[in-house]
C-alpha cells in the first residue's frame, strides 16, 4: 500500500471515529461495537450543511446597482419582482434562472412604474414576532440547555446548590470484596470487630436480653496499621453498604456547609440501613472545642456540634454503625469519646513478630520467592514495622529483583529493601575523601564493637559506610532477638553506651571529634533525660516523675504546661543527666581501649569492603579473646 493510500485510509478512520461510525475496533466479545450517536456531532453536521447549502444548492443571484435595475425596468427586461423591506429581487424575461438583486431605496414612484411596465410584482411580509423570538428567546433557551447539559456532565457534587450534599463514597455490598481473611497481624482488633459484624448480621441476638448495639467504634493506632482496611473488611463481612468519607471533606470555606453535609450523610445512611458510616481522620473535625486561639465559633466547631447531635439522635436499632479512625486520639473532644457516641475504642497496634510474619505471607502470595527465603527471619528483622511498611518492603524487593532481571526475589533483595526503608536510598554518587571515609569507618566500628561487648544490646546485623538517605554517611544495623515492651535500667544504660561508641572511637584514634555524632548525642541525651525525669531511675532524685504528659484535649493549641518543679530542682536534673552521660562515656572509653586492635582491624576492613556482616565482627572479637594471655 502506498503512502498516499495510507494517508487516505487514516483520514477516513478519523472521520468515522469523529462521527461515531468506526467499527474497526472490536469489543470484549470480539464483535464490533455499536455506533454511538453524539448530539454534538449531529449539531455540527447540521450547521455545516446549512452554511454550505446556499453555495451548492441555491441559484446564483447577481447583485446590481439600483440605477442599473431602473434601466432594466424601463427597457421591460424584468419579470417576477419581489419587493422586500431591504432588497428587491427579480428575474429576466425568458431567463428564469438569471436572478438579480438590488438595494431598495426610498423611491415613491417605483410602484407606478411597475404598473405602467405591466411587470408582475409582489411584496415580502416580515413577521416581527417571529424575529423577536429567534433573536432573544432562542439564544436564551440554547444557553439553558447547554447549562443543564454541563451540570449533568459535571455530576451532582459540582453544582452550585450541591454544597450541602455529603461527599461520601458509597460502596454497595457487591463492591467490597475484602474480608477478615485478607487481614493479618491485628488479631485482637479483629476479634472486637467480629462482634460488630454480628450486630449488623443478627441484631436480634444481642437485643433479646436487653442489650444495646454500640453506636460507634473508634479505631485508634499509629499510621499504616490498617485501620481503614479493617473498617472495609467489617463491611465486606457483614455484606452491608459502606459510606466512606474523610473528616476534611466536611469542612468548606462557607459557613454551615459542614453541618449540612453531616445531616445529609446521616439521612442518607438511615435510608440504606443496615450500613456502616466510616469517617477517616476523625481528628480533622473532632478536635477539642475551645482550642482556637483566635476565639469565635468557627466552621469546624459547627460541624463537630452537628456530628454530636446526630450521634445522639441516632437510633441504633436501625442497624447503622458509625466507625471512625484516628492516630491522634489525645486531641479529640471529650464529648465524642463518652459512652453513647463512640462506645468502643479499638486499638490497632503495631504487629508483633507473629503478626509481621502473617502480614508478609499475605503480601508475598503473588511474589515469586527464592526457596531460601524465611519469612520468620524477615519478620524478626523488622521490629516496629506496620503493615504498610511491610507491604512497601515486599514491593521494593520485587522491583529490585525485576530491575536486576532475576527469576525470583532473593534474600539480598529483601536486605536492600529493609535498608532502604530504615536508612534511605544509597548515595552511589556521593564520593567521600580518604580522610572522611576513615573517620566514618572508625565511627561505625566503635558503635558495632560496643554493641557486641555490652550485655543487653541487640546483636549487630550489618555495618556499612555507604552513604544513605539525607545525611547518613554510615550506619550500624542491629537486629533484636525478640519483641520488647519494657526496658530495664541496665538495658537503657547499655543503649546509651552504644550511642556514644562512635564519638569515643573518633576521640581515641584521631584525638579529634567531628560533627558525625550529632544524632547520636541527641538520642543519648533524650534517653538520659527520660531516665531522670520520667522513669525515676536516678538514685539522687528518687522515685519522682518531673514531666507531665501533655493534655492537648483540654489546652489551647500550641500551649504547653510549665514546669512543676523549682529552678533548684531543674539544676539537679541537669546535673544528673550530665552525670549519666559522663559515666557512659568513661565506660565506653575503657571498653574500646581494651579492644583497640579489633577497632583498627575492623575499621581497615570496613574501609576496604564498605559493608561487613555481623558474623564477621563476632569472629574477630572471639579471635581477639582467645589471643589474650
Cα–Cα nearest to 229, from 194, 180, 188 = 180
What are the CA-CA distances from residue 2 to residues 8, 11, 16, 397 (Å)? 10, 14, 21, 50
Cell numbers describing residue 388: 504498610
Q: How far apart are CA 119 and CA 113, in angstroms?
A: 9
Residues of the chain by 3-state class (helix, strand, coil), percent to 5: 55, 10, 35
User: Could you tell me the strand order of the sheet in which 78-83 lies?
Assistant: 61-63, 95-103, 87-92, 78-83, 121-123
Q: How many CA atoms lie within 13 A of 237 on its CB side?
A: 22
- Please name the residue that has the C-alpha cell 475496533: 25
Is residue 444 flagged as an active site residue?
A: yes
Helix (H, G, I), strand (E, B), or coil: what is residue 293?
coil
Which grid cell sits at 452? 557486641
CA nearest 415: which of 397, 441, 438? Answer: 397
User: 3-state class of 241 per DSSP?
Assistant: coil
Output the nine-digit C-alpha cell for 346: 479499638
Crossing angle of helices 387-403 and 353-363, in 10° steps, is 50
For 317, the grid coordinates are 436499632
Three-state secondary structure call for residue 354 = helix
Asked if 394 contacts 360 with a C-beta cutoff of 8 angstroms, the reply is yes
Q: Tell me the angle at which helices 411-423 and 387-403 cross, rounded to the nearest 10 degrees.
A: 130
Closest C-alpha to 22, from 35, 38, 4, 41: 35
Catalytic position from the list 249, 299, 396, 444: 444
Q: Which three cell numbers stand for residue 273?
A: 440501613
Task: Give the separation between CA 299 and CA 296, rounded to whole angstroms.
Answer: 10
Residue 102 in contact with residue 64, Cβ under 8 Å?
Answer: yes
DSSP-derived secondary structure letter, 516: G
Task: Report residue 561 as a C-alpha cell.
Answer: 504546661
Instruction: Give the span between the Cα atoms of 379 and 372, in whole angstroms.
Output: 15
Query: Around 363, how many Cα atoms within 13 Å sit in the side-chain half-sphere?
Result: 24
Pairing of strands 169-171, 242-246: antiparallel
Number of C-beta neighbours around residue 321 at 10 A = 29
Q: Which residues are catalytic?
A: 444
Amino acid at each position: 500500500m502506498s503512502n498516499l493510500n495510507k494517508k487516505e485510509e487514516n483520514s477516513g478512520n478519523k472521520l468515522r471515529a469523529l462521527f461515531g461510525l468506526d467499527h474497526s475496533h472490536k469489543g470484549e466479545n470480539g464483535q464490533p461495537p455499536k455506533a454511538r450517536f453524539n448530539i454534538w456531532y449531529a449539531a455540527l453536521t447540521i450547521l455545516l450543511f446549512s452554511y454550505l447549502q446556499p453555495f451548492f444548492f441555491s441559484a446564483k443571484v447577481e447583485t446590481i446597482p439600483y440605477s442599473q435595475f431602473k434601466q432594466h425596468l424601463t427597457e421591460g427586461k424584468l419579470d417576477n419582482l419581489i419587493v422586500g423591506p431591504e432588497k428587491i429581487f427579480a428575474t429576466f424575461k425568458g431567463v428564469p434562472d438569471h436572478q438579480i438583486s438590488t438595494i431598495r431605496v426610498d423611491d415613491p414612484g417605483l410602484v407606478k412604474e411597475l404598473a405602467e411596465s405591466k411587470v408582475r410584482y409582489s411584496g415580502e411580509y416580515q413577521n416581527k414576532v417571529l424575529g423577536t423570538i429567534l433573536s432573544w428567546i432562542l439564544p436564551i433557551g440554547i444557553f439553558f440547555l447547554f447549562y443543564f447539559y454541563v451540570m449533568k456532565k459535571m455530576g451532582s457534587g459540582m453544582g452550585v446548590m450541591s454544597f450541602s450534599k455529603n461527599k461520601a463514597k458509597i460502596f454497595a455490598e457487591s463492591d467490597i470484596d475484602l474480608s477478615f481473611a485478607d487481614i493479618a497481624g491485628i488479631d485482637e482488633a479483629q476479634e472486637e470487630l467480629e462482634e460488630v459484624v454480628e450486630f449488623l448480621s443478627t441484631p436480634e441476638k444481642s437485643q433479646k436480653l436487653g442489650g444495646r448495639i454500640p453506636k460507634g467504634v473508634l479505631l485508634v493506632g499509629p499510621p499504616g496499621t490498617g485501620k481503614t482496611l479493617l473498617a472495609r473488611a467489617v463491611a465486606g463481612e457483614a455484606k452491608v453498604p459502606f459510606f466512606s468519607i474523610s473528616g476534611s471533606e466536611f469542612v468548606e470555606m462557607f459557613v454551615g456547609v459542614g453541618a449540612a453535609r453531616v445531616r445529609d450523610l446521616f439521612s442518607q445512611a438511615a435510608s440504606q440501613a443496615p450500613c456502616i458510616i466510616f469517617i477517616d481522620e476523625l481528628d480533622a473535625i473532632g478536635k477539642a472545642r475551645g482550642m482556637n486561639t483566635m476565639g469565635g465559633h468557627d466552621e469546624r466547631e459547627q460541624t463537630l456540634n452537628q456530628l454530636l447531635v446526630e450521634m445522639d439522635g441516632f437510633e441504633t436499632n436501625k442497624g447503622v454503625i458509625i466507625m471512625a479512625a484516628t492516630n491522634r486520639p489525645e486531641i479529640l473532644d471529650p464529648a465524642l469519646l463518652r459512652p453513647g457516641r463512640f462506645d468502643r475504642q479499638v486499638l490497632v497496634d503495631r504487629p508483633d513478630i507473629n503478626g509481621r510474619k502473617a502480614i508478609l505471607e499475605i503480601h508475598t502470595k503473588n511474589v515469586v520467592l527464592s526457596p531460601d527465603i524465611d519469612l520468620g527471619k524477615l519478620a524478626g528483622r523488622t521490629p516496629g514495622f506496620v503493615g504498610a511498611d511491610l507491604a512497601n518492603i515486599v514491593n521494593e524487593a520485587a522491583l529490585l529483583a525485576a530491575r536486576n532481571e532475576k527469576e525470583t526475589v532473593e534474600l539480598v533483595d529483601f536486605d536492600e529493601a529493609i535498608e532502604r526503608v530504615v536508612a534511605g536510598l544509597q548515595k552511589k554518587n556521593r564520593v567521600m575523601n580518604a580522610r572522611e571515609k576513615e573517620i566514618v569507618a572508625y565511627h561505625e566500628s566503635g558503635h558495632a564493637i560496643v554493641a557486641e561487648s555490652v550485655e543487653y544490646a541487640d546483636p549487630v546485623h550489618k555495618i556499612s559506610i555507604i552513604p544513605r538517605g539525607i545525611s547518613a554517611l554510615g550506619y550500624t544495623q542491629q537486629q533484636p532477638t525478640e519483641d520488647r515492651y519494657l526496658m530495664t535500667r541496665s538495658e537503657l544504660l547499655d543503649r546509651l553506651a552504644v550511642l556514644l561508641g562512635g564519638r569515643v572511637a573518633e576521640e581515641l584514634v584521631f584525638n579529634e571529634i567531628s560533627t558525625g555524632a550529632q544524632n547520636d548525642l541527641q538520642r543519648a541525651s533524650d534517653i538520659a533525660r527520660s531516665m531522670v525525669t520520667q522513669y525515676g531511675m536516678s538514685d539522687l532524685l528518687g522515685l519522682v516523675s518531673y514531666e507531665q504528659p501533655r493534655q492537648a484535649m483540654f489546652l489551647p493549641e500550641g500551649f504547653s504546661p510549665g514546669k512543676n518543679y523549682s529552678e533548684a530542682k531543674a539544676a539537679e536534673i541537669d546535673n544528673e543527666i550530665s552525670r549519666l552521660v559522663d559515666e557512659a562515656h568513661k565506660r565506653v572509653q575503657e571498653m574500646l581501649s581494651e579492644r583497640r586492635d579489633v577497632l583498627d582491624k575492623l575499621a581497615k576492613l570496613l574501609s576496604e569492603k564498605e559493608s561487613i556482616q555481623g558474623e564477621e565482627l563476632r569472629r574477630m572479637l572471639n579471635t581477639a579473646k582467645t589471643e589474650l594471655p
